């Protein structure tokens, strides 16, 4: 099934009120390339200001707590994100799995929280370099999907992002054949977990997507978009990726 492509930018712990100036050109590119969905996920502190500055652009968040409220100092709930205007939430990014020791069970609960609050959960999975070298990449990702994917979700609520850990921020990408093999395996796994709804869940590729490799990666079967880190920080880099996705749509 050909799904509508999604190009989502993950600003990580970058950006400032001044950086929101990039959003006007990104929103214009989203409008020009209406066959593609576009989103930017800035830090929590910029979400409301980003929504206010570009109401026509989809704004997301980079994490949420599994609970809607409570005694969790420093955490942000999906309810709060919804109020701030976030329409999507990235959960289980490998940086959080590593730095905050997030488990599949926690990622699953966070994805449930996002969906419960009317947001699209972007669940990230991906193997380390050692796991790939050991020939375990597909098995690792299948295990993460088993543990992280809410079983009642469908394509309107859930997106999966395949992000090989060794490709994030390194300028390295897997071969087209490796991306194709992994995305096909993820699709098969989603169908086994979700039934026919698994055919409608978009599978993004993430890891060093840049203007010069976006078209090649986005034309692989079952690559339904991209999760973009560094190259989403400026319109100059992000807009050509949106255009690349539109060319493959």
Which residues of this protein are in contact with ligand PEP, per CB under 6 A? 10, 163, 168-169, 206-209, 227-231
- Measured from the CB of residue 205, what is the shortest distance to ligand PEP in angstroms? 9
**3 state SS of 225:** strand
**3 state SS of 98:** helix
Catalytic residue among 102, 106, 127, 163: 163
Residue 23 tokens, joined: 């959003």
Q: How many CA atoms lie within 13 A of 147 on its CB side?
A: 16
Residue nearest to ligand PEP (CB): 229
Give residues with Cβ within 8 angstroms of 102, minimum separation 6. Answer: 92, 96
Let me know: does 41 contact 12? Beta carbons within 8 Å.
no
- Measured from the CB of residue 119, what is the shortest distance to ligand PEP in angstroms? 18
**Is 150 or 207 the residue whose CB approaches ligand PEP more closely?**
207
Please report the sign of the dihedral spanned by the C-alpha atoms of residue 21, residue 9, residue 48, residue 14.
Answer: negative
What CA–CA distance (Å, rounded) separates 25 from 235? 6
**Is 62 or 197 the residue whose CB approaches ligand PEP more closely?**
62
**Is 3 or 161 the residue whose CB approaches ligand PEP more closely?**
161
Is 93 noted as a catalytic residue in this protein?
Answer: yes
- Measured from the CB of residue 70, what is the shortest distance to ligand PEP in angstroms? 28
Catalytic residue among 22, 65, 93, 131: 93
**Is 161 or 197 the residue whose CB approaches ligand PEP more closely?**
161
**Is 124 or 197 the residue whose CB approaches ligand PEP more closely?**
124
Q: Which residue has the tokens 């800035």?
A: 42
- Measured from the CB of residue 228, what is the shortest distance to ligand PEP in angstroms? 5
- Measured from the CB of residue 168, what is the shortest distance to ligand PEP in angstroms? 4
Residue 220 parent element (H or E): none
Give residues with Cβ within 8 angstroms of 71, minimum separation 6. Answer: none
What CA–CA distance (Å, rounded) separates 233 from 61? 15
What CA–CA distance (Å, rounded) separates 109 from 51? 26
* Active-site amino acid positions: 93, 163
């Amino acid at each position: 099934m050909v799904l509508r492509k999604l190009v989502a930018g993950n600003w990580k712990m970058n950006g400032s009120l001044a950086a929101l100036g990039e959003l006007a050109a990104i929103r214009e590119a989203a409008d020009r390339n209406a066959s593609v969905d576009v989103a930017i996920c800035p830090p929590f502190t910029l979400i409301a200001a980003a929504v206010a500055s570009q109401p026509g652009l989809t704004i997301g968040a980079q994490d949420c707590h599994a609970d809607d409220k409570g005694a969790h100092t420093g955490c942000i709930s999906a309810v709060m994100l919804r109020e701030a205007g976030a329409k999507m939430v990235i959960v289980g990014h490998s940086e959080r799995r590593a730095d905050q020791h997030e488990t599949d069970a926690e990622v699953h609960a966070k994805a449930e929280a996002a969906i419960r609050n009317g947001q699209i959960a972007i669940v990230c999975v991906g193997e380390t370099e050692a796991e790939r070298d050991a020939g375990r990449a597909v098995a690792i990702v299948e295990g993460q999907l088993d543990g992280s994917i809410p079983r009642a979700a469908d394509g309107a609520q859930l997106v999966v992002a395949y992000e090989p850990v060794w490709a994030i921020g390194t300028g390295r990408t897997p071969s087209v054949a490796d991306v194709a093999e992994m995305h096909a395996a993820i699709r098969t796994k989603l169908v086994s977990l979700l039934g026919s709804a698994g055919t409608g869940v978009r599978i993004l590729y993430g890891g060093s997507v840049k203007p010069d490799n976006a078209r090649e990666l986005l034309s692989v079967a079952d690559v339904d978009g991209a999760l973009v880190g560094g190259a989403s920080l400026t319109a100059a880099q992000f807009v050509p990726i949106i255009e690349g996705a539109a060319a493959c749509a």
